[in-house]
């Protein structure tokens, strides 16, 4: 894939190149031809140290799969993931422990991502426990420190509670504390605010921004909410059916969207002004299934601007159209 | 980038109490809460009361034989009362009468109670330990391990083991302990495995399992500290039902006289049967009714406790 040459590898903490993940479907005894669901299809991007990259897209576009591939909860079909210059796919044995301390994930649903039979202390201390970090007293001190860092103060009031005794926002803070207690340098945040009430959401977002400053963490922030992405992220990558269609600085993406899909997404964000008259998004049809997709542009069926030439042409590659703004569209 | 190394400014261990004390308190609290829910269930409480009653009944045996009763007369296996015709109906000296060879029915009943407890609990324990381990492993690893154990479970479920044991028992008389172990193992690899596997499967796809993996937990760690604790309440519930099935199988096989057990409730009915008294069962009711009732109530008691526990384990069954 034609990408601008990687900037100094010193600055790049995560480099994903040509990453693909296909899932076999209707793999029966008698079906000879098996279909493939292209969850993530030839995706490349980088995250620089200290940066927050937002991965935005609708449900089922492969953004969570990308996150799971990066933390190695799934293995890629092809492509490479480099984190601090180590190939994630080739980590084995002892290096795995190191990797788990370096790369962490915050999960979407705080009601499901905490073991209901464990106390808050055991949940937050688990990453330290399984990696054999510190003595019991040290772990306990770290857990308490982390809990107050995420705004659960005083920690002693929370240590021996069970998750069901906490509110959604508090649980997500526990989940964040647990992910950050091993001091990772890179965190995949999979829609950490989407299951929370709007009133709590800003608190968690502020916390994540604060922790990024304090601990120098780089995030891959997966979300379907452009407003959240704009608030938190330095750059935004827009995904559609397993492909990145547009990538650029947050303000660029939001203010000057170029890809028809991004334009439609932006036009769907509510504006808090009743007087504003927005054009209706003129996108056609529903989400197509990413099972054995045609080699042409994934957005072709729904694209309001598609030209006849798009039907025949190969899937467009991401091209730099200046200022680090990358778009995958034939019409630009 | 990890220049923020752990600082211990919050001070070392500021816990008010040692950790084991806190955990013990938490365990006690959760037991108390579960007991509160269990108490709501009348059927469960009835089961508990019955089990306690059987417990007292069984515990009285050694006291009675050592103080009140003459072992020569009241021994459940070799006792004989030369003072009357046998089988004799209930009377002052023999509250539940005597069997065809002159042994006291009440003494037999009491003597057997402790054995039935031991048999039921031992085989249920084996069942649950095997069922939990195998079910969890099958659910977590899937693939060949899963297929292998599930097919074994299917075979055990479908194969009529009681008739088989009757045939085998005609050749090799199983004694008490081997029988408890065989029942435990058959139960453990049988239906319980499938139920516990289903539960483990639903636990193993929860996000907290992924979270544990990202935290760096090994397969062993995930199984032992996440999956099993979340399957255990259901295991405990099925342990109650296993007791019932073990006792019932023992009674059935004893009745056919294929077990090498000197005395049990099933054996008592067997004794009446081989002596031909069951043909006139209404007249010689004391030969079979006490043992039959004991088997029924004992099994029912564990079943009822299981039903009560069901409401603790499965919140959707709760009335409030």
User: Could you give the angle at the alpha carbon of A74 between the alpha carbons of A70 and A78, nearest 5°?
Assistant: 75
**pLDDT, tens digit, for every residue of B92-151?**
878 888 888 888 888 889 989 988 899 999 999 999 999 999 999 999 998 899 999 999
ω into B47 cis (within 30 of 0): no
Q: What is the dihedral of CA B66, B71, B75, B79, to 10 degrees?
A: -170
B156 three-class SS: helix
Separation CA A61–CA B234 (nearest Å):
38
- Nearest-CA distance from B97 to chain A in Å? 53
Which of A12, A84, A117 to probe the B interface (max B CBs under 10 A)?
A: A117
Q: Taking each helix axis from N to C terminus, what angle separates B228-255 and B285-313, rounded to the nearest 10 degrees?
A: 170
User: Could you give the angle at the alpha carbon of B278 between the alpha carbons of B274 and B280, nearest 5°?
Assistant: 135
A154 beta partners: none
Select the highest-mean-pLDDT range: A111-120, A318-327, B163-172. A111-120
**What residues contact residue B292 under an 8 Å CB cut-off, 6+ apart?**
B265, B269
Instruction: Please say whether the beta carbons of B112 and B268 come within 8 A.
Output: yes
Q: Do A115 and B230 touch (CB under 8 A)?
A: yes
Q: Do B211 and A130 touch (CB under 8 A)?
A: no
Q: Do A116 and B3 touch (CB under 8 A)?
A: no
Separation CA B136–CA B193 (nearest Å):
9
Separation CA A104–CA A181 (nearest Å):
10
- CB count within 10 Å of CB A300 equals 18
Give the pLDDT mean for A160-182: 90
N-terminal to C-terminal alpha carbon distance within chain B = 52
**What residues contact residue A168 under an 8 Å CB cut-off, 6+ apart?**
A110, A111, A195, A196, A197, A200
**pLDDT, tens digit, for every residue of A8-19?**
445 889 999 999
pLDDT attached to residue B226 = 92
Q: Do B217 and A113 touch (CB under 8 A)?
A: no
Closest by Cβ to B207, choosing from A112, A141, A159: A112
pLDDT attached to residue B12 = 46
Of the candidates A87, A105, A133, A82, which has an alpha carbon nearest to the alpha carbon of residue B210? A105
In B, residues 206-225, which contact A (CB 8 Å cutoff)? 206-208, 210-218, 221, 225
Instruction: Please say whether the beta carbons of A174 and A123 come within 8 A.
Output: yes
Closest by Cβ to B10, choosing from A68, A104, A145: A145
Q: Do A130 and B11 touch (CB under 8 A)?
A: no
CA A292 to chain centre: 24
- Nearest-CA distance from B14 to chain A in Å? 8
Q: Do A138 and B214 touch (CB under 8 A)?
A: no
- Nearest-CA distance from B6 to chain A in Å? 7
User: Given pLDDT bands bounded at 50, 70 and 90, which one contains residue A188?
Assistant: very high
Give the pLDDT mean for A137-155: 89
Cα-based distances in Å from A35 to A32, A77, B183: 10, 14, 47
Report the complex ipTM.
0.86
CB contacts of B16 in chain A (<8 Å) are 156
Q: Do B22 and A73 touch (CB under 8 A)?
A: no
B15 lies in a domain? no
pLDDT attached to residue B139 = 93
Domain region containing B251 = 36-75+96-128+153-179+231-317
pLDDT attached to residue A68 = 92
**pLDDT, tens digit, for every residue of B49-108?**
999 999 999 998 888 888 888 877 788 877 777 778 778 888 887 888 888 888 888 888
pLDDT attached to residue A279 = 67
- CB count within 10 Å of CB B60 equals 13
The rounded mean pLDDT for chain A is 86
What are the φ/ψ torsions at residue A184 (nearest 5 degrees)?
-70, 155
Residue of chain A with shortest Cα separation from B3: A215
pLDDT attached to residue A21 = 92
pLDDT attached to residue B224 = 92
Give the pLDDT mean for B170-199: 87
Closest by Cβ to B215, choosing from A130, A156, A159: A130
pLDDT attached to residue A214 = 87
**pLDDT, tens digit, for every residue of B217-240?**
889 999 999 999 999 989 988 898
What are the φ/ψ torsions at residue B192 (nearest 5 degrees)?
-60, -40
**pLDDT, tens digit, for every residue of A243-301?**
999 999 999 898 888 898 888 888 877 777 788 776 666 777 776 777 888 888 888 88
pLDDT attached to residue B7 = 43
User: Given pLDDT bands bounded at 50, 70 and 90, which one contains residue B5?
Assistant: very low
**pLDDT, tens digit, for every residue of B262-318?**
888 988 888 888 888 888 888 888 888 899 999 999 999 999 999 888 888 877 766
Closest by Cβ to A113, choosing from B1, B22, B211: B211
B184 lies in a domain? no
pLDDT attached to residue A8 = 46
Q: Is residue A74 scored above 60 in pLDDT?
A: yes
User: Given pLDDT bands bounded at 50, 70 and 90, which one contains residue A28?
Assistant: low
Separation CA A183–CA A42 (nearest Å):
31
Give the pLDDT mean for A205-210: 89
**pLDDT, tens digit, for every residue of A76-123?**
999 999 998 888 888 888 888 889 989 999 998 888 899 988 999 999
Give the side-chain half-sphere CA count within 13 A for A18: 5
A82 beta partners: A15, A87
Separation CA A290–CA A265 (nearest Å):
19
pLDDT attached to residue A154 = 87
- Nearest-CA distance from B302 to chain A in Å? 26
Q: Is residue A2 scored above 70 in pLDDT?
A: no
CB contacts of A100 in chain B (<8 Å) are 214-216
Separation CA B162–CA B253 (nearest Å):
7
Closest by Cβ to A101, choosing from B208, B212, B216: B216
DSSP structure class, residue A256: S
CB contacts of B22 in chain A (<8 Å) are 160
- Higher per-residue pLDDT: B200 or A314: B200
- Nearest-CA distance from A60 to chain B in Å? 18
CB contacts of A113 in chain B (<8 Å) are 207-208, 210-211
B256 lies in a domain? yes
Instruction: Please say whether the beta carbons of B81 and B104 come within 8 A.
Output: yes
Q: Do A126 and B215 touch (CB under 8 A)?
A: yes
Architecture of domain A12-320 in this structure = 3-Layer(aba) Sandwich (3.40)
Which of B3, B208, B224 to probe the A interface (max A CBs under 10 A)?
A: B208
Instruction: Please say whether the beta carbons of A331 and A307 come within 8 A.
Output: yes
Of the candidates A12, A64, A22, A60, which has an alpha carbon nearest to the alpha carbon of residue A42? A22
Instruction: Please say whether the beta carbons of A127 and A119 come within 8 A.
Output: no
DSSP structure class, residue A6: P
């Amino acid at each position: 894939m034609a990408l601008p040459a990687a900037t100094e590898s010193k600055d790049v903490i995560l480099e994903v190149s040509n990453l693909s993940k296909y899932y076999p479907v209707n793999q029966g005894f008698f079906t000879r031809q098996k279909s493939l669901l292209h969850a993530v299809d030839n995706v490349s991007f980088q995250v620089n140290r200290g940066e927050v990259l937002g991965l935005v897209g609708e449900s089922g576009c492969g953004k969570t799969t990308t996150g799971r591939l990066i933390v190695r909860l799934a293995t890629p079909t092809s492509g490479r993931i480099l984190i601090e210059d180590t190939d994630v796919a080739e980590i084995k044995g002892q290096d795995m422990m190191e990797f788990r301390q370096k790369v962490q994930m915050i999960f979407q649903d705080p009601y499901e991502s905490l073991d209901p039979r464990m106390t808050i202390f055991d949940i937050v201390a688990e990453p330290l426990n399984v990696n054999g970090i510190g003595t019991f007293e040290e772990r306990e001190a770290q857990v308490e420190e982390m809990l107050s860092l995420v705004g659960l103060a005083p920690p002693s009031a929370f240590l021996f509670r069970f998750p069901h005794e906490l509110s959604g926002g508090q649980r997500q803070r526990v989940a964040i504390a647990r992910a950050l207690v091993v001091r990772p340098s890179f965190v995949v945040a999979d829609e950490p605010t989407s299951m929370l009430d709007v009133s709590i959401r800003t608190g968690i977002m502020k916390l994540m921004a604060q922790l990024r400053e304090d601990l120098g963490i780089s995030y891959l922030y997966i979300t379907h909410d452009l407003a959240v992405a704009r608030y938190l992220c330095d750059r935004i990558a827009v995904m559609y059916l397993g492909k990145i269609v547009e990538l650029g600085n947050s303000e660029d993406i939001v203010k000057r969207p170029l890809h028809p899909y991004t334009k439609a997404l932006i036009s769907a964000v509510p504006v808090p002004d009743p007087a504003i008259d927005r054009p209706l998004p003129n996108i056609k049809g529903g989400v197509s299934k990413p099972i054995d997709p045609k080699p042409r542009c994934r957005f072709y069926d729904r694209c309001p601007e598609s030209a006849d030439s798009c039907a025949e042409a190969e899937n467009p590659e991401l091209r730099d159209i200046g200022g680090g703004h990358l778009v995958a569209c034939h019409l630009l | 980038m990890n220049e923020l190394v752990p600082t211990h400014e919050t001070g070392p261990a500021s816990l008010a109490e040692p950790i084991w004390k806190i955990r013990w308190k938490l365990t006690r609290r959760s037991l108390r809460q579960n007991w509160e829910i269990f108490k709501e269930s009348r059927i469960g409480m009835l089961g508990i009361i019955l089990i306690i009653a059987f417990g007292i009944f069984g515990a009285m045996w050694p006291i009675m034989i050592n103080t009140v009763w003459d072992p020569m007369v009241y021994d459940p296996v070799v006792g004989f009362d030369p003072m009357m015709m046998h089988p004799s109906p209930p009377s002052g000296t023999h509250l539940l009468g005597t069997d065809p060879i002159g042994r006291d029915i009440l003494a037999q009943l009491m003597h057997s109670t402790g054995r039935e407890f031991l048999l039921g609990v031992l085989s249920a324990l084996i069942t649950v330990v095997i069922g939990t381990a195998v079910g969890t492993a099958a659910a977590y690893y899937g693939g060949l391990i899963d297929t292998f154990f599930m097919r074994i479970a299917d075979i055990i479920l479908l194969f009529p083991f009681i008739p088989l044991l009757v045939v085998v028992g005609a050749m090799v008389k199983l004694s008490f302990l081997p029988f408890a172990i065989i029942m435990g193992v058959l139960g453990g690899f049988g239906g319980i495995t499938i139920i516990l596997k289903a539960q483990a499967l639903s636990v193993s796809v929860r996000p907290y399992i992924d979270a544990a993996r990202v935290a760096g937990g090994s397969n062993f760690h995930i199984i032992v500290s996440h999956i099993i604790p979340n399957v255990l309440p259901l295991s405990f519930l099925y342990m109650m039902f296993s007791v019932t099935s073990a006792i019932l199988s023992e009674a059935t096989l004893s009745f056919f006289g294929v077990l090498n057990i000197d005395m049990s409730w099933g054996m008592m009915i067997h004794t009446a049967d081989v002596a031909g008294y069951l043909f006139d069962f209404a007249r010689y009711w004391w030969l079979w009714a006490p043992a039959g009732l004991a088997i029924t109530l004992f099994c029912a008691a564990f079943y009822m406790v299981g039903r009560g526990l069901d409401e603790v384990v499965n919140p959707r069954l709760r009335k409030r």
